[in-house]
């Protein structure tokens, strides 16, 4: 009995630590809200696990198979939404990085980054559109940056020059 209580307490403590770490690392906004929700559910599951395990043989819970499929569906939806948030963060941060580099090159531009997935399924910058005013040399620097540092080839780089 004491071993089970110790195991339960360690599980709850570990879950609380993981939830706290994830919430600390999550960026502000919707991602943090989703992280809090998922963390709260994980912590609730860790707390209630002994009760669910003890009631596993009760006929009421045996009919919970329908709930399982609904939970799995919700999990898939949350994973998809989390993936979209993750891509949006990568797009926003990459665009900010490119705009900062453009300033270092001596010009300002608006940048829009679209993410995709590489052959291994890893999200990465896929396409970049820049709008601004630059010299040929400055544009060449930006093209090299996008290709060498971010892996966006010239055919997926789009430029619209505006008049200063």
Q: What is the pLDDT of residue 56?
A: 57
Statement: residue 133 has pLDDT above 80: yes
Element (H, E) at 9: helix 2-25
- pLDDT exceeding 70 applies to what percent of the chain? 88
Statement: residue 55 has pLDDT above 70: no
Q: Which residues contact 100 (CB under 8 A, 6 or more apart)?
A: none
Structure confidence by residue, pLDDT tens digits, 3-47: 777 777 777 788 787 778 778 887 888 877 887 888 888 878 878
Statement: residue 89 has pLDDT above 70: yes
């Amino acid at each position: 009995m004491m071993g089970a209580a110790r195991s339960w307490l360690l599980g709850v403590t570990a879950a609380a630590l993981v939830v706290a770490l994830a919430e600390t690392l999550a960026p502000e906004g919707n991602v943090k809200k989703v992280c809090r929700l998922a963390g709260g559910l994980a912590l609730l599951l860790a707390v209630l696990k002994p009760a669910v395990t003890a009631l596993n043989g009760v006929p009421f819970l045996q009919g919970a198979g329908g709930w399982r499929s609904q939970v799995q569906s919700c999990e898939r939806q949350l994973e998809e939404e989390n993936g979209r948030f993750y891509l949006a963060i990568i797009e926003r941060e990459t665009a900010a990085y490119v705009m900062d580099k453009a300033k270092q090159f001596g010009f300002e531009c608006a940048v829009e980054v679209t993410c995709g997935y590489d052959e291994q399924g890893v999200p990465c910058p896929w396409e970049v559109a820049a709008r601004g005013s630059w010299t040929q040399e400055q544009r060449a620097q930006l093209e090299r940056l996008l290709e060498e540092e971010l892996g966006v080839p010239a055919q997926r780089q789009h430029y619209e020059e505006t008049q200063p």
